[in-house]
A and B are shown apart, each in its own frame.
Chain A
Amino acid sequence: MTTTGLVLAGSCTAGSGCGFPAPGTASFDYQPVFTVLGFGVTKPALLLVSGTVLIAVAMLAAFARPRLVPTGWQNVMERYYDFIRKDIAADVIGREGIRYAPYLATVFAFVFVMNFFEIVPGAQFPVTSRIAYPAMLAALTWLIYNAIGVRRHGLLGYLRGIMFPPGLPWWIYIILAPIELFSTIIVRPFTLAVRLFANMFAGHLLLLVFTLGTTYLLVPRIQALFAVVSFGMTFVLTAFELLIQLLQAFIFTLLTASYISGALAEEH
Chain B
Amino acid sequence: MITLAAETNPLVPPLGELVIGLICFLGLFAVLAKFAFPNINRTLAERTDKIEGGLERAAQAQAEAGELLEQYRAQLSEARLEAARLREEGREQGSAIIAELREQALHEARRITAAAQAQLDAEREQAIATLRAEVGDLSLRLAERIVGESVTDEARQSRIIDRFLDELEVERL
Chain A interface (Cβ within 8 Å of chain B)?
25-26, 28-32, 35, 38-42, 44-45, 48-49, 52, 55-56, 59-60, 62-68, 78, 81-82, 101-103, 105-106, 110, 129-133, 135-137, 140, 194, 197, 201
Contact = CB atoms under 8 A, between A and B. Distances in A.
A110 B29 CA distance: 10
Given A49-B24, A137-B25, A40 B4 contact: yes
Contacts, number: 133
Contacts of B50: 68
Contacts of A201: 10
A26 B36 contact: no
A65 B5 contact: no
Contacts of A140: 22, 25
B43 A66 contact: yes
A131 B11 contact: yes
B62 to A, nearest CB: 25
Contacts of B6: 29
Contacts of A56: 28, 31-32
Contacts of A29: 5-8
Given A68-B50, A106-B29, A131-B12, A136 B21 contact: yes
A55 B27 CA distance: 11
A68 B43 contact: yes
A135 B18 contact: yes
Given A28-B10, A63-B39, A68-B43, A42 B32 contact: no
Interface string B22-59: 10110111011101110111111011001000000000
